[in-house]
Amino acid sequence: MRTQGPGGQETAAGTRRPAPGTRPTSRDVARAAQVSQAAVSLVLGDKWRGRVAEATAERVRAAARDLGYRPNAAARTLRLGRTRTALLVVPVLSSDFFAGVHAGAARVAAEHGFGVVLYPFDTVSEEAPDPFASARAALDGVIASSMTPDAVAAIRGDALPLVMLDSDPAAEPGAAVVNVDVADGLRQVAAHLLALGHRRVLHLGADVDSWTFRVRARALAEALGSSVERPGRVVAPLRVDAARATAEGVLARPADRRPTAVVCDSDLLAAGVLKAARSLGLRVPEDLSVTGFDDLSLATAVDPELTTVRLPAEEVGAQGMRALLALLDGERFPPVNLPVALVPRGSTGTAPGV
């Protein structure tokens, strides 16, 4: 049943929306939900647990939605001493993974009345002015993905709460850490290839000096161990053309000396290997198996589609934002290591001769 109050708009029964042009207040929400303004403040400030019944909290949220109520951000900032703004720093913007991280962080932030400012750290150079000097006073905290400790220090100074994503848990004491289990991802890749009979496996690593890629190299080497004849590793910049050039040099070897499988640190590198194989007349997966990492949209755009490791990008961002909110409330956020999953597709098959 719906009703219409005098001078107001039609709403759910018992809830009278203020007249057009009038902004609903917390008092309107309290009246509609039949609770005190203090209860409204607790519920909409996400401080209600243990103090307000769950059914009452839902009634308050429903009334706020029906009225179109939005908290006064300026008043809340003054009251809490916060700007309710988080800075999310990523290495690049042109990545599906970091787009997913941002989406997850922004979703959780919006649920708590926060905003997220996204900044690509690779645009900062030694000659450029510090883009964060004047911004730090307008931020509540920093979420930094795949960053070195020095880079993080340049951004946050020594004052802002910090959450590190895909980073060394020991690098920044006092920071909350949210990682994905990249080591297990490489262990899954190794097990998959060994089960297919591959014994000449090459690791095409990213030419990037970061914790996550060091972990991947170590995990793959340990997982392959003595099961492979000549484990090898080469590196290339994170570009398709660079990966193709590097792979062509290795795949041009005689058949008994070239790898039967190439494990790549990213789907971009794997795409380069596919191009190299095609240029040399090698069939994938009959002559060569190729694996990627990340499960970007690229993984299903190439032919054959890539066997790769899927990372929970949105959950990384969501957990990162939850960690920052916990730090701002003075709470400890235990380290998180999110699971990953191998996605077998057409780029891997039984090793030649098996």
List, as one string, the DSSP characters of 256-306. Answer: TTS-SEEEESSHHHHHHHHHHHHHTT--TTTT-EEE-SB--GGGGTSSSPP
For residues 237 and 268, give the distance between their C-alpha atoms in angstroms, rounded to a whole number.
10
Which one-letter DSSP state was computed for residue 353? Answer: T
Confidence at residue 91, expressed as pLDDT on a 0 to 100 scale: 84
- Per-residue pLDDT averaged across 131-137, rounded? 51
Q: Is the pLDDT of residue 208 over 60?
A: yes
Q: In the prediction, which pLDDT does 319 show?
A: 96
Q: How confident is the model at residue 11 (pLDDT cuts 50, 70, 90)?
A: very low
Q: How far is 131 from 37, CA to CA, in rounded Å?
A: 40
pLDDT at 100: 94
Q: Domains of the chain, with CATH numbers?
A: 2-71 (1.10.260.40), 82-180+313-337 (3.40.50.2300), 182-311 (3.40.50.2300)
How many other CB atoms are found less than 10 A from the CB of residue 22?
Answer: 11
Which of 67-71, 84-88, 108-112, 254-258 comes out lowest in average pLDDT?
67-71
Rounded Cα gap, residues 29 and 210, in angstroms: 50
User: Is pLDDT above 90 for 187?
Assistant: yes
pLDDT digits (tens, 9 = 90+) for 66-105: 888 766 544 444 344 467 889 898 888 888 999 999 999 9
Choice between 308 and 138, residue whose per-residue pLDDT is larger: 308
**Res 3 pLDDT > 50:** no
**If pLDDT is split at 50, 70 and 90, which confidence band does 281 have?**
very high
273 pLDDT higher than 70? yes
- Measured N-to-C along each axis, helices 313-328 and 96-111 cross at an angle, to the nearest 10 degrees, of 40
Better pLDDT: 147 or 165: 165
pLDDT for 82 equals 60
Q: Which of the pair, 119 or 319, is modelled with greater confidence?
A: 319
On average, the pLDDT of the chain sits at 84
How far apart, in whole angstroms, are the C-alpha atoms of residue 115 and residue 108? 10
Structure-token pair, residue 317: 């961002």
Label residue 44 by pLDDT band (50, 70, 90): confident
Residues 6+ apart with CB under 8 A from 280: 248, 251, 252
| 2: enclosing H helix or E strand | strand 2-4
